[in-house]
Structure 1
Amino acid sequence: MASISSLGIGSNLDLSTLLTNLQTAESQPLVQLQQRQVSYTSKLSAYGQLQSALTTLQTAAKKLGDPVFFQSVKATAGTAEVLSASAGSTASAGTYSINVTQMAQSQSVVAVGQVSAKTAIGSGTITIDFGTVSGGTYDAVTGKYTGAAFTPDATRTAKNITIDPSNNTLEGIRDAVNAAKAGVTASIVNDGSGTPNRLVLTSTETGKASSMRIAVAGDAALSNLLTHDPAGTQNLQQTIQAQNAELTVNGIAVTSASNTVKESIQGVTLNLLKTGTSGLAVARDTAAVETAINDFVKAYNALQSTAGTLTAYDASKKTGAALMGDSTLRNIQVSLRQVLTSPQSGALKTLSEIGMGFQKDGTLAVDADKLKKALSENLEGVAGLFSSPTASTEGYGKQLSALVDKLTATGGALKVATDGMTASLKDLDEQYDEMQARVDAKMEIYRAQFTQLDLMVSRMNSTSSYLTQQFASMSNSSK
């Protein structure tokens, strides 16, 4: 059976173009569905941008809706070289005079020098515990105590370190001590003498109660190197004495095992840096509240800007943005404004009392001077304006945060709109697939019909050519 390799060749008709035009016409419903898909996808994306802006606003509102936030205090040191400070929620406002007379430090002891750090010394068990040295006298030149007592720290457990032929050199002992994590760091210092290698042991904690006592059970050489009892045999030389930090707070003596002094002033942590005097001011952190309020205004205005972009009309292109005329967005804007214009029940009732107000374009603006004055003169009133410690529904911060939860929760306006767009897109996808299948089926019918037409015309043309040739032949014969 004859066949056509390319549509239209047999008939010399432009059937391919005709078939393409038919496909374009049949596909018009698909184009319309695609246009609707683009529109719905744009709306879904726009709702996503709107939700993101609402989430940012809610974060700022939640911060202001927390009563504890307004109770935060700030500690400021007068002399930053002497100390720094931080304050927690339990700190009370006040001023203090701090005099740091002694810094806390870790004890450091050093062994006698060895010719080589790689020569075996001896094996045994090293036991390290910590405690407080008291009484007796101390010779700073020799680094030894005479007549002192050692009281172990009951809160810490002594640590045993095994020294055997695998680690009985000075380097091996150093590594074993460090690996044991016994509250001591070990290192080797070369002092440049004939026996230069000296093992140095330093407590990892500061304070008088972190003085070391080292007992050795084993070879005499190991014992002679490391045994150290402030109340007895002292084969190590103390080069840095363990000591507490000592300071006065408003003339009251304070000691601390660490240079981080907690609760000497309730709720305040002092970080001692050097000896000296410094003032300390503990006050309500109004600067943080001011920043939070300004951040809230920025978040609200950013939402308004996003809404403006999503509802804009381009006159030159005569097209509107994805949510132009959208009732969901318009209702959200109205709801937000209603919250922020409803008077509160506290000492301060409206935003205007702290210098906040709406502009003609719907954004919020802040009078910085009025806000600072309100924060300095009536911080409790400002706190009550945004949050109530007793009522869960009082305060702009709490109310606005609750509104955003309502809008984005199941059944909320934004959630319903978003789910509706998602469902519509899914439905359009199904319609598109079904329509495409129908168009493809119809085009197959057209293609088969055109192929038959092409074959039929081709045969007719062949017959016509044959008859013409025969008639011509007969005419020539008759002559």
Structure 2
Amino acid sequence: MTGISTGIGLISGINTASLIDQLMAIEARPKVLAISRQTQLQAEQAAFMGLNSKLLSLKTTAAKFYNNKIFRTNTATSSDSKVLTASAGTTAQPGVYNFVVNRLVSSSQMLSKGFANSDTTELGATSLSFEWGNGKLTRDTELASLNEGEGVRRGSIDITDADGATASVDLSTAFTVGDVLDAINGELTLGVTASVSGDQIVISNVDEIDDSSGYYTATDLGINATAVGNTITGSQINQVYADMALADLNDGNGVYIAGGLGTTSFSVDLSNGESFDVVLGDRDDGGGGTESSVTTIQGVLDRINEHDTAKFEAAIGDDGVSIKITDKTGGGGTFEVTAGTSNNEQTARDLGIFTTGVAGVIDGDRILAGLNSVLTKHLNGGAGLSGNTALDITDRAGNTDSFTIDENSSITDIIAQINASGSISVTASLNQSGNGLLITDTTGSAVSNLIIDGTAASELGISTGASGVAADSYAGSNVQVQYVALSSQLDDLNYGRGVGTGSFRVTDGYGNQMTIDIGSDADTLGDVISEINSLASAQDVYVQARINDNGDGLILETELDGDSSPLVLPMEVESVSGTTAKDLGILGEASATDQADNYIDGAYEKTVTLEATDTLDDVITAINNAGILVNATLINDGGSSNPYHLSITSKLTGSSGDLIVDSGGLDFDLSVLTEAHDAIVFFGSTDPAKGMAIRSTTNTLDDVVAGVTIDLKATDTDAVELTVARDIEGMINSVTEFVSSYNSVLTEIGKLDYYDTENESRGILLGNSTIARIRSQLQRTIQEDAIGVETQYENLLDVGIRFGEGGQLTVDKDDLRDALNEDLEAVENLFAAKVLSDDQGEEIEDGVTIHSDETLYDELGIAEQIKRLADQLTDSVDGTLTIVNQNYDTQISLQEKRIELFDDRLAARRAYLEAQFASMEQALASLQYQQSALSSIQPIKSS
């Protein structure tokens, strides 16, 4: 031999490895059979799982008819998709709707004057403040709120000016009083000027105004009249009315009504000594239920008058913008309205009746501002003028006039009062930011400084001091009109985005903590403040919540404990859940430990602190790093002298993002590039004058037409026709998908259970009883009538679904379409009916009733029956195929264990044979050795 081969005996030369393998192959025949059986079982299991997948798909498809309300789906088709598009849900009703898209949502954008450079010149600015929404001294009154809520019938008005020129002014798309004024003043063929005065519209340099033919717009605006002295002063069109929502009073701040069942809102103390408690909030209805809080003016009047109208009576005031209460007792005491429970004065103050009567009558304060204005009492964060009513103005020619400002007026009244002066030559208007007044001298003289003084001057933010200013105008400071109040709805706060539910942790200056949970039962900011203050008192946490001094947010202030111990920590508010603290603006930590600065002010006005050395680039960086709702950008206009501008854009869209930027003493000379507007759409007619005006803070309209979502793309003077129709083709596609899914299951079953005699091939589950049963159940269910459905369509044949070879279904789409068009509800019931049975059970003997564990139905459509069958077959707990799969798992596991056992036996047998052959080789080697030894013995030679 030339070498040693593995597995071949060194002595015997026998190929023991081959011999052992042959012997082991004989021994392993039972194992091979077990492996074959395991493979077969795995293949069968895989086949069942593939069928299970098909059935799950069928179940999903069948369930869509009921779950997705397939037979109630709609299409929404726009006649001009460049102007608007839409999608219709299942609740939409078919119809044709007209829309005139007058205005899209826009965001505020401002641009500063030009600067020579952006990175070297120090601007000297120390701060910039930003405010959004209601921070201005103007409110653009909606036409719909005028004339005691009857609104204005839009259309055209005919105007003849004082010079005899005539024109027709189209007001068919006017939404607000401001739109009316702009349209009239923008008619260049006329020399008239339109403005507002209190609750009226005033047209100057005019001769006559009439309704255009077929319209009543001038009449509804109160200006259908002939001029007196070239001026038409319209009739009062702005007033409080019975059905007016309390939320619309007080510049939208509403009326605060304290929570708690039966809480006294205020008391009416009559002059005869009697006192009556008035409850405006929730109260016991006397029958075990609860009567909800009042929400309208009429509700307030009813709650007051329900006591005894023979003794006192409340009504809308003679001025139309207040409430008056009349004492009929004729007593000699004081007639007044006093505070309610827990010394709550706010409700009576909001209603303007927290006062003492004169001659038996309480004439309440104004609770509705004049047109396009705000109430004076809401200046300075709600403090108003605080009794300071004296105003003295000296123009630059040295002429002086003194005014007594009415605290119960509107800003426009104050402006009109100053402008009506015959003694001085100044004009009053709003400053550039719109949050204060501007006094402009028109004398052209420089004899005197412009002097604005008096106690009211400081309250109005226009005081120059006694020495005045050597300038022709004086821009007043921000007078901080209040737009956050106890009555503010949480849904309206946070720049119109609302305050979410959640909880936050408050840590006071001593380290004491409390967790405030604001749930869906909290409606107003007053509810939040009450929750904070009551919990702080109960848990000895030294924090007090209130409306801040500027009336633009919630403030948390640190209080000292009973021993006036020194504070050791800055107050902190941390979020526990939700975004409530962030939405309220109070998330964070106070700036210092001392009591004066140990507070958190959640003002919605935001201030960006700057350095006097900051350049334009620095200012832009500081604004963008402040995390507020504006974007600041550098604009280069390419000019040669002052090309660099600061551009500021609000991140909020619509009127809620109307931006006010106050630069303090630095003149950025910000001009408005784009005004913030809500979208305005006129619905229901091709003529906007006859359509319903709709306002939206986004370009998406939800449920203007129930169940339809409309996306506004562009404006157009022409109406867009939106057609909502049943999605018949989509329904046909869904039925076709269902049929295809059903057929797919039968096809899969056919692949698993067949025998081809020609080539003698067979399906892997040929003859399997489970497969046969599933096929039978499916075919029987699909051919049966819908359960409990008594319409003209009771089975699939009635709607064009036929049964073909092998039980496969086919769809005659024309027949199905005809059925859908003829009786859509009947087709829906055929497929998707599902009405639970009121199972009364079966009485098997007197007093003994048994109930079925199975869910029973009075009505059940074909698709729902198929879904239930698929559920029974595929249920992950006790479904037929789940049990089959578990049985296969068991059998496969048994085979796996048999194979492991065989492996152990074969390994032992192999070891035995190898040992036997090794022993043989050893014996042969020994014999060979002995033979060799014997052969080496030499014979003895004779001598």
TM-score, normalised to structure 2's length? 0.45
| CA distance in structure 1 between the partners assigned to 2:821 and 2:678 by the alignment | 39
Pick closer, same or farther for the CA change 1:106–1:116 going to 2, 3 Å: same
Out of 793, 797, 801, the position equivalent to 1:356 is: 801
SS in 1 for 2:117: coil
1:261 lines up with 2:701 in the alignment: yes
Pick closer, same or farther for the CA change 1:15–1:318 going to 2, 3 Å: farther
Deviation of 1:426 (Å): 1.0
SS in 1 for 2:835: coil
1:396 lines up with 2:862 in the alignment: yes
Deviation of 1:65 (Å): 3.0
TM-score, normalised to structure 1's length? 0.85
1:382 lines up with 2:836 in the alignment: no
Determine the structure 1 residue equivalent to 2:22: 21
1:243 lines up with 2:652 in the alignment: no
Deviation of 1:462 (Å): 5.3
| CA distance in structure 2 between the partners assigned to 1:313 and 1:389 by the alignment | 40
| CA distance in structure 1 between the partners assigned to 2:613 and 2:868 by the alignment | 66
Determine the structure 1 residue equivalent to 2:132: 129
| CA distance in structure 2 between the partners assigned to 1:5 and 1:91 by the alignment | 85
Q: Structure 1 stretch 115-124 or stretch 371-380: which is displaced more? A: 115-124
Out of 384, 407, 417, the position equivalent to 2:873 is: 407
User: What aligned pairs does 1:183-222 form with structure 2 within 5 A after superposition?
Assistant: 183-193=629-639, 194-217=641-664, 220-221=665-666
| CA distance in structure 1 between the partners assigned to 2:650 and 2:749 by the alignment | 62
Deviations 1:215-260 (A, max 9, x none): 345xx33xx22xxxxxxxxx32112233333332223132323322
Determine the structure 1 residue equivalent to 2:920: 453
Determine the structure 1 residue equivalent to 2:122: 120
Pick closer, same or farther for the CA change 1:246–1:124 going to 2, 3 Å: closer
| CA distance in structure 2 between the partners assigned to 1:366 and 1:424 by the alignment | 42
CA contact (8 A) 1:106 1:240 kept: yes
Out of 593, 611, 619, the position equivalent to 1:173 is: 619
Determine the structure 2 residue equivalent to 1:285: 727
| CA distance in structure 1 between the partners assigned to 2:758 and 2:928 by the alignment | 57
Deviation of 1:107 (Å): 2.5
| CA distance in structure 1 between the partners assigned to 2:771 and 2:828 by the alignment | 30
| CA distance in structure 2 between the partners assigned to 1:278 and 1:459 by the alignment | 111
CA contact (8 A) 2:834 2:864 kept: no
Equivalent position amino acid for 1:407 in 2: L
| CA distance in structure 2 between the partners assigned to 1:341 and 1:453 by the alignment | 77
Out of 900, 918, 922, the position equivalent to 1:433 is: 900
Pick closer, same or farther for the CA change 1:246–1:67 going to 2, 3 Å: closer
CA contact (8 A) 1:67 1:387 kept: no
| CA distance in structure 2 between the partners assigned to 1:22 and 1:209 by the alignment | 91
| CA distance in structure 2 between the partners assigned to 1:396 and 1:360 by the alignment | 21
Deviation of 1:388 (Å): 1.7
| CA distance in structure 2 between the partners assigned to 1:324 and 1:367 by the alignment | 33
SS in 2 for 1:390: strand
SS in 1 for 2:107: coil
CA contact (8 A) 1:254 1:264 kept: no
Equivalent position amino acid for 2:899 in 1: Y
CA contact (8 A) 1:120 1:168 kept: yes
User: What aligned pairs does 1:275-314 form with structure 2 within 5 A after superposition?
Assistant: 275-276=715-716, 277-313=719-755
User: What aligned pairs does 1:27-46 form with structure 2 within 5 A after superposition?
Assistant: 27-46=28-47
SS in 2 for 1:65: helix
Equivalent position amino acid for 1:281 in 2: T
CA contact (8 A) 1:375 1:382 kept: yes
Determine the structure 2 residue equivalent to 1:182: 628
Asked which structure has the greater RCO (Cα within 8 Å, sep 6+), the reply is 1
Deviation of 1:325 (Å): 2.0
1:329 lines up with 2:796 in the alignment: no
Equivalent position amino acid for 2:862 in 1: Y
SS in 2 for 1:301: helix
Equivalent position amino acid for 1:339 in 2: T
Identity of aligned residues (%): 25
Equivalent position amino acid for 1:272 in 2: L
Pick closer, same or farther for the CA change 1:15–1:153 going to 2, 3 Å: same
Deviations 1:376-423 (A, max 9, x none): 221111110111253456012221111111112333321121101101
Q: Which has the higher helix share?
A: 1
Deviations 1:17-39 (A, max 9, x none): 32221111111111111101111
Pick closer, same or farther for the CA change 1:153–1:243 going to 2, 3 Å: farther
Deviations 1:25-78 (A, max 9, x none): 111111111101111111111111111111111110110133733223222111
CA contact (8 A) 2:753 2:762 kept: yes
CA contact (8 A) 1:187 1:200 kept: yes
Pick closer, same or farther for the CA change 1:243–1:452 going to 2, 3 Å: closer
Count of matched residue pairs? 455
Out of 433, 442, 455, the position equivalent to 2:909 is: 442
SS in 2 for 1:75: strand
| CA distance in structure 2 between the partners assigned to 1:152 and 1:213 by the alignment | 15
| CA distance in structure 1 between the partners assigned to 2:760 and 2:868 by the alignment | 38
Determine the structure 1 residue equivalent to 2:468: none
CA contact (8 A) 1:7 1:454 kept: no
CA contact (8 A) 1:128 1:159 kept: yes
Out of 742, 764, 782, the position equivalent to 1:340 is: 782
| CA distance in structure 2 between the partners assigned to 1:202 and 1:105 by the alignment | 11
Q: Structure 1 stretch 291-300 or stretch 248-257: which is displaced more? A: 248-257
| CA distance in structure 1 between the partners assigned to 2:921 and 2:118 by the alignment | 101
Determine the structure 2 residue equivalent to 1:57: 58
| CA distance in structure 1 between the partners assigned to 2:612 and 2:72 by the alignment | 60
Determine the structure 1 residue equivalent to 2:392: none
What's the RMSD between the two structures over aligned residues? 3.2
CA contact (8 A) 1:166 1:172 kept: no
Pick closer, same or farther for the CA change 1:355–1:8 going to 2, 3 Å: same
Equivalent position amino acid for 2:808 in 1: T
Pick closer, same or farther for the CA change 1:112–1:464 going to 2, 3 Å: same
| CA distance in structure 2 between the partners assigned to 1:283 and 1:5 by the alignment | 85
Deviation of 1:92 (Å): 1.5
Deviation of 1:201 (Å): 1.7
Deviations 1:336-374 (A, max 9, x none): 111111111321211111111221122211111111111
Pick closer, same or farther for the CA change 1:245–1:15 going to 2, 3 Å: closer
CA contact (8 A) 2:133 2:655 kept: no
Deviation of 1:433 (Å): 1.0
SS in 1 for 2:785: coil
Pick closer, same or farther for the CA change 1:110–1:5 going to 2, 3 Å: closer
